[in-house]
Structure 1
Amino acid sequence: MAATPVDLSLAMVMAPTTGAEWLPIMPVAIGLGFGAVLMMIRQSTRLHPWIAIPGLALMVLVDILLLAHVVTHGPVTMTMGRWLPPFGIAFTVDIVGALLALTAALVALAGSVYALGDINTSGRRYGFYPFLMVLMAGVSGAFLTGDVFNLYVWFEVLLISSFGLLILGSEREQIDGALKYAVLNLIATTLFLIAVGYLYAIFGTLNMADIARKAGSLRETAPLMTLGGLFVFAFGMKAAAFPLNFWLPASYHTPRIVVSALFAGLLTKVGVYALLRVMVMLLPVEREALSLVIAIAGALTMVLGAMGALAQSDIRRFLGFVVVSGIGYMLAGAAIAGTAGLSAAIFYALHSIVLMTALYLVAGEAARRGGSYRLDRLSGLWAAAPAFAGLSLALFFAGAGLPPFSGFWPKAMLVKATLDIGAWWLAGAILLSGFITTIAFGRVFLLAYWRPALVEASGEPADAAVPAHVPRATSSAMLPILALSALVVWFGLFPEPLIDLSQQAASGLANPAAYLESVFPSGGQP
């Protein structure tokens, strides 16, 4: 009896895969591949930076090509094992994912160069560079995946690698910070996994595009508000939003300064991105119903974060609260939604990734020059290093949201968006937070930079002996700081290209027709 022919085209990709279709998975493959190579040569740690830095440069190049392709041709989808969605796992990249992946790779490259001086032989032996490559694989995978369970998997990858980076050196303070970081993040991850299981029980699929297509027909019969609330809670904890933000200031000051810089730039933004992707694209009606809750959480996060920064006497703790405050602005954009609110949130996320990484690296350089991270011991930096002090002041202006630097534009966009919908109280919270943050940055500059150098009774400069946790002096330390600062200034002086990209990205999130077409093309296969 002759076998009945099977039409595989209904379930599998039959056409040859083009080179551009491989771009979505290349950043992840680079991170995992280079990380594996570094692990295999773990006995030759002196070679690690000279392998990791080219690897991250290659990741930046691939992300540039990916962004250019997405901007030119629209969202692109790569299916695993040739299985068509929703049967197989898909990587689907639109402008917002490509933008965030590129910015993340840029700051990781800057951090890897700075680590030449900040991470000593012991830190390399503990695995700094392999952990960094795996971390970037997780971050890139989270930004580029088109599958909700895969999003959870990449969260786990970056979480595991971040544990390794956090305890680099195994000092008492690091273990204490890592415990707080681990417990709260594992709780958030568990809630996320529960929400994913709940989502699969409702939809029978985990493909984001498939969920977005089915949500409208299931809304009347399925408890999607409960599901949306679970996702908001889990992602809010991941992003360090009020009232679940206490883990971040308690842990980000404990690791090496380059690790703190990378965490501040990258990790909370993954939580914000996940919130935008799931609640705006997949569950827009539920996001609208929860918009007041998200807005209140955002307002409290930005104001209380700014107040916490004002109260700190350690620059690293101060910056931890600045990170928390910045999350509030992105939540405000998510609450407003629409092209105006989402573009402001995306612009602020891009600005924050670059700025917070640069600020932590500047804090490391200030501590190296002044001998301490504590404001009661740090002084005289303006007289000792006027060029470095001027660079720090420019970054402080950007952090406070003052023109003409990058922080001004997303805040202005947010204020306009809030006023357009009549949310005066939210606009007031944005302005109040910005005012308090300006005072906090001004206080740091006056004490650490403008104040004359402190001297002890012996006549020697205070803290003349530099603590072990302060970065060593290297010629490579200023290179990444200058590069990131140049981006901050460029974003501020020439914001139009980034505003345009942010608006295109926001439009794609709010109206995902092109995203859905990439995954389920009407005229053919992905």
Structure 2
Amino acid sequence: MTISPDIVGALTPLPVLIPMLAAAATLVLGRRTRAQRWITMGALTSVFAVSCMLLYLADRDGTTAVQVGGWDSPIGITLVVDRLSALMLVVSSIVLLAVMAYAIGQGISDGSDDQPVSIFLPTYLALAAGISNAFLAGDLFNLFVGFEVLLAASFVLLTIGASADRVRAGVSYVMVSMASSLIFLVGIALAYGATGTLNLADMALRMDDVPPGTRTAIFAVLLVAFGIKAAIFPLSTWLPDSYPTAPAPVTAVFAGLLTKVGVYAIIRAHTLLFPQGDLDDVLLVVGLLTMVVGIFGAIAQTDIKRLLSFTLVSHIGYMVFGIALSTTPGLSGSIYYVAHHILVQTTLFLVVGLIERQAGSASLRRLGGLAAASPILAVVFLIPALNLGGIPPFSGFIGKVALLQAGAADASVLAWILVGGGTLTSLLTLYVVARVWTKAFWRARADAPEGALADVSPSALLDESARDIAFADRADVGRIPPMMLLPTVALVGVGLALTVFAGQLIDISDRAAHDLRDRSIYIHAVLGDAAIGDGTGSEAPR
């Protein structure tokens, strides 16, 4: 069966349009909470369905470009669906849907009529639209617009509740993000000045004629901008202070998705615009430092949210490692690892939200006995924790092995150092999650250094100031709201599916990596026959 290009063209803008239209509808229905919830869940479910169709079509038929507004490329706004962008859309839509179900469950359990859900839901939908726009963007300025939508929405979500800690973290986050945006604008200006275009495919053709020094300088500026958003070392210090203060659903979606948008931008720029590998050695060093510094930071933490924030930074290093190898196996490993990490990291942050519901704290100094109090919570934590630690046969192990094999195949000194650093980081990650398991779940609460603090009522746990009150014997122990638990369990299941269907997903990752290495596929999809014969059809050498 052949799908008409008109149908593909109609589907491509929908991951952006659906949440934006739904956001407008939820704003209009601000006083009707139930209608807002139905519209939000319906919109995110539709985005998931459309994204799955786009992935199927991209994997079957290849890269497709859609010109928005009737303007032909390279002048108009171009949306591009290839295997990489479609896979990112599917994974992100799964996470967005699950986290929203979790947030709605939390709101219903807490009695959210007095909470700011009237602004939370439309802002969350705007965030979803910004993420989709960034993945589909076919020109630098549209990518910048996607980032700015993310910034505006994420600031609102980060400061919901208006507690002092959240506002302080939100201001810090916005300042860093604005600095990143200004640097990105400088990079856009430099790229436009050197090539005379903002269309990525057209820029890829023209960038080959730019002097090597100028080209490297442009790439360096863009790397700094994207590196801040991706939280790579030394541009990652903002993240552990910003994410842990937000509500559990917000922290989960931020940790799972926002940094990966930055990683996606690095992949796209590196493979399409700057495939010469001029800064690959720098990226390898940065990847190593990101892994090692991040995991040592995690070891020093006693708050689970901050601990997971540092592991988040650390595992970005694996993705940078695969990108910097500039080989098809390296890119394939990075793509698979991005998909794995989005799901697992989001799941763990949702589990931390359940731990706070169960125990009133996320501090290891105040936790204990959770395995006995809530066995299902123990299982829901243990599976993604082992996955993050890279225990076979989970997807974390598969992704790390793919990256380490790609590094060994490269056989350069730096690559071998990264292989060693990646192995060390994996072992230390396992140590970190095992430490959480033994302290929070396995030991008795009485053995915790601060485990004897006064008990509080369940309603007090809803207040930000009571977030760190210790776990104690209460009548509601083990009564985690089912509507919060079910989305978390569903994400655990999706994470396990990455293991069960690892072969199929790696095949898609391999084909996506091949497409990325052969720039002519992307360029021809956007510019058509005019791009043929320009000498870009061969793979970038390594």
Give the alignment's TM-score, normalised by structure 2. 0.90
SS of 1:78's equivalent?
strand
Q: C-alpha separation between the residues in 1 aligned to 2:446 and 2:192?
A: 61
**Do the aligned residues in 2 keep the contact of 1:382 with 1:389 (CA within 8 Å)?**
yes
In structure 2, what is the equivalent of residue 53 of structure 1? 41
**1:234 offset after TM fit, Å?**
1.0
**1:102 offset after TM fit, Å?**
1.0
SS of 2:66's equivalent?
strand
**1:109 offset after TM fit, Å?**
0.2
- Cα distance change on mapping 1:410 and 1:302 into 2, 3 Å: same
Q: C-alpha separation between the residues in 1 aligned to 2:416 and 2:290?
A: 17
Q: Which aligned pairs between 1:460-499 and structure 2 lie closer than 5 A?
A: 463-466=455-458, 467-468=461-462, 469=464, 473-499=480-506
In structure 1, stretches of 5+ residues that fail to align are 1-15
2:84 aligned with 1:92: no
2:367 aligned with 1:378: yes
In structure 1, what is the equivalent of residue 150 of structure 2? 158
**1:465 offset after TM fit, Å?**
3.9
Q: C-alpha separation between the residues in 1 aligned to 2:182 and 2:299?
A: 33
- Partner amino acid for 1:300? L
Q: C-alpha separation between the residues in 2 aligned to 1:241 and 1:184?
A: 13
**Do the aligned residues in 2 keep the contact of 1:310 with 1:318 (CA within 8 Å)?**
yes
SS of 1:107's equivalent?
helix
Q: Which aligned pairs between 1:104-119 and structure 2 lie closer than 5 A?
A: 104-119=92-107
**Do the aligned residues in 2 keep the contact of 1:404 with 1:493 (CA within 8 Å)?**
no
2:245 counterpart (224, 241, 254): 254
Q: C-alpha separation between the residues in 2 aligned to 1:206 and 1:122?
A: 46
In structure 2, what is the equivalent of residue 18 of structure 1? 6
**1:89 offset after TM fit, Å?**
1.1
**Do the aligned residues in 2 keep the contact of 1:372 with 1:463 (CA within 8 Å)?**
no
Q: Which stretch shifts more, 485-494 or 87-96?
A: 485-494
Q: C-alpha separation between the residues in 2 aligned to 1:400 and 1:271?
A: 23
2:356 counterpart (367, 374, 377): 367
RMSD (CA atoms):
2.1
In structure 1, what is the equivalent of residue 523 of structure 2? 516
- Cα distance change on mapping 1:206 and 1:342 into 2, 3 Å: same
Q: C-alpha separation between the residues in 2 aligned to 1:131 and 1:428?
A: 42
- Cα distance change on mapping 1:122 and 1:242 into 2, 3 Å: farther
2:65 counterpart (77, 80, 95): 77
SS of 1:42's equivalent?
coil
In structure 2, what is the equivalent of residue 305 of structure 1? 294
- Cα distance change on mapping 1:306 and 1:460 into 2, 3 Å: closer
2:190 aligned with 1:190: no
How many equivalent residue pairs?
506
Q: C-alpha separation between the residues in 2 aligned to 1:125 and 1:421?
A: 51
- Partner amino acid for 2:488? I
**1:520 offset after TM fit, Å?**
1.8
In structure 2, what is the equivalent of residue 102 of structure 1? 90
**1:316 offset after TM fit, Å?**
0.8
**Do the aligned residues in 1 keep the contact of 2:233 with 2:286 (CA within 8 Å)?**
yes
**1:463 offset after TM fit, Å?**
4.2
**Do the aligned residues in 1 keep the contact of 2:361 with 2:367 (CA within 8 Å)?**
yes
In structure 1, what is the equivalent of residue 508 of structure 2? 501
2:443 counterpart (427, 444, 451): 451
- Partner amino acid for 1:234? A
Q: C-alpha separation between the residues in 2 aligned to 1:496 and 1:388?
A: 30
Q: C-alpha separation between the residues in 2 aligned to 1:149 and 1:394?
A: 40
Q: C-alpha separation between the residues in 1 aligned to 2:202 and 2:448?
A: 67
Q: Which aligned pairs between 1:120-269 and structure 2 lie closer than 5 A?
A: 120-125=112-117, 127-219=119-211, 223-269=214-260
- Cα distance change on mapping 1:63 and 1:354 into 2, 3 Å: same
SS of 1:92's equivalent?
strand
- Cα distance change on mapping 1:434 and 1:243 into 2, 3 Å: same
**1:406 offset after TM fit, Å?**
1.3
**Do the aligned residues in 1 keep the contact of 2:106 with 2:483 (CA within 8 Å)?**
no
**1:461 offset after TM fit, Å?**
8.2
In structure 1, what is the equivalent of residue 537 of structure 2? none
**Do the aligned residues in 2 keep the contact of 1:393 with 1:445 (CA within 8 Å)?**
yes
- Partner amino acid for 1:496? G
**1:371 offset after TM fit, Å?**
2.0
